[in-house]
Structure 1
Amino acid sequence: MSDFQRFLVKRVAIAAGLTLVAVSIIFFVLRLLPGSPFEALITAGNLSEAQVQEIRSMYGLDQPMWKQYVSYLKSILTFQFGYSILRSRPVWAVLEPKLINTLILLVPALVTTAVLSSLAGMYVGWNRGSKLEKLSIIVTTFLRSTPVFITAILFVILFSYTLGLVPAFGMRSVVASPDGYLDTYLSIDFLHHYVLPFTVAVLFYSGDFLLLARNGVVEKKGSEFLKLHRAKGLSELEQLARAGRNSMLPILTYFALRLGMIFQGLILLEVVFAWPGIGRALVLAIQQQDYPLVQAAVFIMALAVILANLFADVLYAYFDPTVSTSGGGAA
C-alpha cells in the first residue's frame, strides 16, 4: 500500500469516528435538556397525558436510553430519519426545502466571493505596499471581525427601514403564491427578498478569500520561477497570472471547507432575515426539542463538514506528496 493510500484510509477512519462522535453528542445533549417536546401541547390542552404516553411509545422515547441510542444509530446509518414529532411529517420532507433554500442563498454567494475576492486579493498582493493594498487589508479585517448578525442588522436598518429599497425579512411576500421551484426562485418577488441576505453573505465570505489570495501572491512574487519568467520578458499581467495559479491550492482548500459548512447555513444570518433555511429550522427545532428533526439536521451538517475536511486533506496530499508521508493535512 502506498503512502497516499495509507493516508487516505487513515483520514476516512478519522472522518467516520468524528461523525459518530458528533451524532452521539447531539443525541445525549438533547435528552439531557430540561422539558420535552410535548410540554407545549399538554399546556395548550391539545393532548392528554395518555395521548402523550402513546406518542412517546410510538417514537421509542419510553425505552431505556441505550435502546434509543441503538435505534438512533440504525436510523442514521440507513438515512431513515423518521417523523418530526411536532409536525407529524417525515423529517426529510421538512428539511429538504429548508436545505434547498440555504443552498440557493449561500452557494452563489460563496462562488461569487471566491472568484471576485480571490482576483482582487491577487491584484493587491502583486501591488504590495500600495494604498490599495493597505485599504483592502483594513476593510477585510473589519469584515472578518464583525459578526455576521451585526452586519445583517445594519443592512436591514439602512436599506429596508431607512431607505425602503428592499424587504427586511423572509424569502417572498405573503401575497405571493409560487407554483413550483422555478416560480419560487426565479420570480421578481424572490429576487427582491434575495438581494440583501445575498450581499451580507458575500461580505461575510470575502475577507478570508482576499487575504488568502493576497498572501499567496506575495509569497510567490519573489520566487525563482517568476524571476525566470521576468527575464524571458513576460508582461506584468502574465507574471501575475502565473503567480496566482501557483497560489491556488490554499484557496481551493478553503473553498472546499466553506462549501461543506454551507450545509449548516449561516444560522445567525438566516435568523435575522427570517430566511427559511436549514440553520433557522435547526434553531426552531432545538427550541421545540423536536428530537428526530434536530438529529437529522445535525447529522447532515456534521457529515457535510467532515466530508469537506476529508476532501481538503486528500486535495492537499494529492498535490503535495510530502503531506501524505508526514501524516499532515489541510485542517
Structure 2
Amino acid sequence: MSFRRFLIKRTVIAAILTLVSVSIIFATLRLLPSDPFSGLVASGSLTADQVTKLRAMYGLDEPIYVQYLKYVRNLFTFQFGVSLTQQRPVGTIVVPALVNTLVLLLPALVVTAIVSSIAGMYAGWNRGSWFEQWSIVTTTFFRATPIFVTGIFLLIIFSYGLNWLPAFGMRSPMANPQGYAETFLSVDFLKHYILPFTASVLFFSGDFLMLARNSIVERKGSEFLKLHRAKGLSEREQLARAGRNSLLPLVTYFALRTGMIFQGVITLEVVFAWPGIGRALVQAILNQDYPTVQAAVFIMALAVIVMNLTADLAYAKLDPTIEAGDV
C-alpha cells in the first residue's frame, strides 16, 4: 500500500471517529432528564413563557434531527455558540481555558519525554543495577497512582504542611497580570505552577521510562551492536547508537501521549483549581451548559483523534513496512 493510500485511509477513519464522538456527545446531553432551563421555572426565577422563549432562542424546541444537523455544522466550523449560563460566546470560555491547560501539560510532557527516555535507556543498558530497579518501582508506582491522588499528597506536604507553595489557582487573587510575560513568566505564576506540573511529570514518567528501557533491552543483544562492540566502540558510544535506533517507538508514543494529554486533566485541574479546560467542562456539566460542554468535549476528542492520526502517519513514514503491511 502506498503512503498516499495509507494517508487517505487513516484520514477517513479519523473523520468517522470524529463524527461518532460528536454524535455521542450530542446524544448524551439530550438524554439527560432535564434541560438547562427546567430548574429556573421550579425556583421561580422565570415563568414558563419566558423559558419557552429561551428554549426557542437556543433552538432547543426544534426537532432533534434539526438540532443535530446544526450542532454538527457549527462544531466543524468552530462556531460554538453562546454559553447558556454566562451569556457570552463559548469560544471566549474554552479557548483561554485550553491555553491554560496546554501551558500546564505540554511542558510537563516534553520534560518527561526527554528525562524519562534518557533514564529508561540507561536503566535498560544496565540491567539488574540498583538504578534500574529503583527507577522501575518509582515510576510504576506514580503511573499506577491516580494523578489527583498524587496532587492531593503534594498539596498536603508542600502547601498545608510546609506552607512553601500556594494550594489553588494559577495566580494570587490580587494579581493583575498584563500581557503574556506577566501572566506566564511571573514569580507568582511559577509558584502556583510547580505542584500541578510536578504531579503531571510524575504521572507521565512511567510510560516513557519503560518504553525506552524495553527498547534498549531488545537492541542490546542485536547484531549491529555486536559489530560495533567488535570495532572497539566504548560503552557510551554503543548506548548512543542503540538509543538512536530506539527513537521510533518513543517518537510515535510521544504523538499518542500528546493526544491523550487530557487524560486525568479534569481531576488534576479540580484538585488545584487550575482554570483549564477540564475545570471549565466540570462547571459546564454542573450548570447543564450544553454549548460549553459540547465545545470542551469536542476539542478534547479532536485532539486525541488528530494525534493518533499523526502517530500512525509518523510510524508509517519512519517504518515503511507498517504501511506496506497495512490492509
Letter in 1 for 2:72: L
Moved more, 71-80 or 106-115: 71-80
Q: SS in structure 2 opposite 1:167?
A: coil
Letter in 1 for 2:94: L
Letter in 2 for 1:53: T
Return the TM-score normalized by structure 1: 0.95
1:39 CA drift (Å) = 3.7
Unmatched 5+ stretches in structure 2: none
Residues in 1 aligned to 2:260 and 2:181: alpha-carbon distance in whole angstroms: 26
The residue aligned with 1:7 is 6
Equivalent pairs, count: 327
- Alpha-carbon distance change, 314 to 154 in structure 1, aligned in 2, over 3 angstroms: same
1:45 CA drift (Å) = 4.1
The residue aligned with 1:311 is 310
1:77 CA drift (Å) = 2.0
- Alpha-carbon distance change, 78 to 264 in structure 1, aligned in 2, over 3 angstroms: farther
1:181 CA drift (Å) = 2.6
Decide whether the 8 Å contact of 1:263 with 1:300 is kept in 2.
Answer: no
Q: SS in structure 1 opposite 2:260?
A: helix
- Alpha-carbon distance change, 93 to 264 in structure 1, aligned in 2, over 3 angstroms: farther
Residues in 2 aligned to 1:159 and 1:245: alpha-carbon distance in whole angstroms: 39
1:263 CA drift (Å) = 5.3
The CA RMSD measured in Å over matched residues stands at 1.4
- Alpha-carbon distance change, 161 to 128 in structure 1, aligned in 2, over 3 angstroms: same
Residues in 1 aligned to 2:105 and 2:184: alpha-carbon distance in whole angstroms: 14
Decide whether the 8 Å contact of 1:264 with 1:279 is kept in 2.
Answer: no
The residue aligned with 2:279 is 280
1:138 CA drift (Å) = 1.0
Letter in 1 for 2:87: S
Letter in 1 for 2:114: V
Per-residue CA distance 1:14-61 (angstroms, 9 max, x = gap): 000000000000001001012221244445544332222111111100
Letter in 2 for 1:133: E
Letter in 2 for 1:295: Q
1:158-307 mapped onto 2 (5 Å cutoff): 158-262=157-261, 266-307=265-306
Identical pairs, percent: 65
Q: SS in structure 2 opposite 1:86?
A: coil
The residue aligned with 1:88 is 87
Moved more, 313-322 or 258-267: 258-267
Residues in 2 aligned to 1:181 and 1:285: alpha-carbon distance in whole angstroms: 27
Decide whether the 8 Å contact of 1:103 with 1:263 is kept in 2.
Answer: no
Per-residue CA distance 1:231-283 (angstroms, 9 max, x = gap): 11111111111111100111111111111223577111111111000011111
Residues in 1 aligned to 2:34 and 2:199: alpha-carbon distance in whole angstroms: 36
Return the TM-score normalized by structure 2: 0.96
1:15-34 mapped onto 2 (5 Å cutoff): 15-34=14-33
1:33-72 mapped onto 2 (5 Å cutoff): 33-72=32-71
- Alpha-carbon distance change, 184 to 43 in structure 1, aligned in 2, over 3 angstroms: farther
Per-residue CA distance 1:261-319 (angstroms, 9 max, x = gap): 23577111111111000011111111211111111111111111101011111111112
Unmatched 5+ stretches in structure 1: none
Residues in 1 aligned to 2:271 and 2:42: alpha-carbon distance in whole angstroms: 29
Residues in 2 aligned to 1:116 and 1:36: alpha-carbon distance in whole angstroms: 48
The residue aligned with 2:152 is 153
